[in-house]
Amino acid sequence: MKWHNQRKIDRIALPITRACNRRCPECMAVERPEIYGKAEPKPHVSIDELRWVGKTLGPIGKIEVTGGEPSMHPEFETISKNIHHWFQCKDIMLLTNGWLFKDESKLPLLLHWDRVYITHYNPEFAKLYGVKTNTDLVDRLKGFLAKHPKVKFWPQEMNRHNSKSAKIDPSKVSCFYYTCDSVGYHQGQIYGCCTAWQLNDRGRGIVLTNNWRNELPEINLPCETCFLCNT
């Protein structure tokens, strides 16, 4: 599916690691096990690469730092303290399941982010999939950030994952095709949505250059419909 020229990109998903402490049964990353970091020699994005991406990308409205589980990056503290210096962006969000913050001494690192989005694997999800909940970590982050309201906090309840649970209407085109303002970055390339780089069929990305916005029409999107369009 070809890129739609009416899309105005002002947000990028930036995975900084392919390592993850979870093995969610309906995660699209299950299609490519190397994303979990075990089979990939270098699962973490280097600091030098992040500096290069920030310099090359240029001004952008929002950045969503993701993974894998981003707090598993061995240099997560350095990234937290410097990411605003590396990127021309005033709205940088951390997407996490709270893994690192089992250690309460790490909580102050959250104050370097503009928004914190935590995935809540709640009791219903835990029962459905036979896994552990992270409610204690959600409560810990919520309590800490309640004292620091400048950092916006957003928990997402994961009663189930959407990729197989959503009922997709094949007659609908992807929500990303027309409306989504987001692209995704992975290994030097820009892809047409935040999850395309994780799929077996990624579509076609473009090489990240200073001229990347003018080259967006060269992207092929991977999906005629998207699992996110009906949640």
HEC per residue, 202-221? CCECEECCCCHHHHHHHCEC
Strands 189-191 and 206-207: antiparallel
User: Residue 27: inside a domain, yes or no?
Assistant: yes
Give the C-alpha separation, 83 to 93, whole Å: 11
Q: 123-161: string of b/e by CB count within 10 Å (b at 16+)?
A: eebeeebeeebbeebbebbeebbeeeeebebebeebebb
Q: Is 214 part of a structural domain of the chain?
A: no
The answer to whether residue 119 is domain-embedded is yes
CATH number at residue 50: 3.20.20.70
pLDDT in tens, 138-187: 999 999 999 999 999 999 887 655 444 444 454 454 454 445 788 999 99
The pLDDT tens digits for 35-85 are 555 555 578 999 999 999 999 999 999 999 998 899 999 999 999 999 999
Q: What total of structural domains would you count in the chain?
A: 1
In a domain, 153, yes or no: yes
Please tell me the predicted confidence (pLDDT) of residue 231.
33
pTM of the model: 0.87
- The answer as to whether 224 is a domain residue is no
pLDDT at 192: 86
**Does 48 reside within a domain?**
yes
- For residue 140, tell me if it sits in a domain: yes
Tell me, yes or no, whether 124 lies in a domain: yes
Domain that holds residue 146: 11-165+182-202
* Average pLDDT, rounded, for the chain: 84
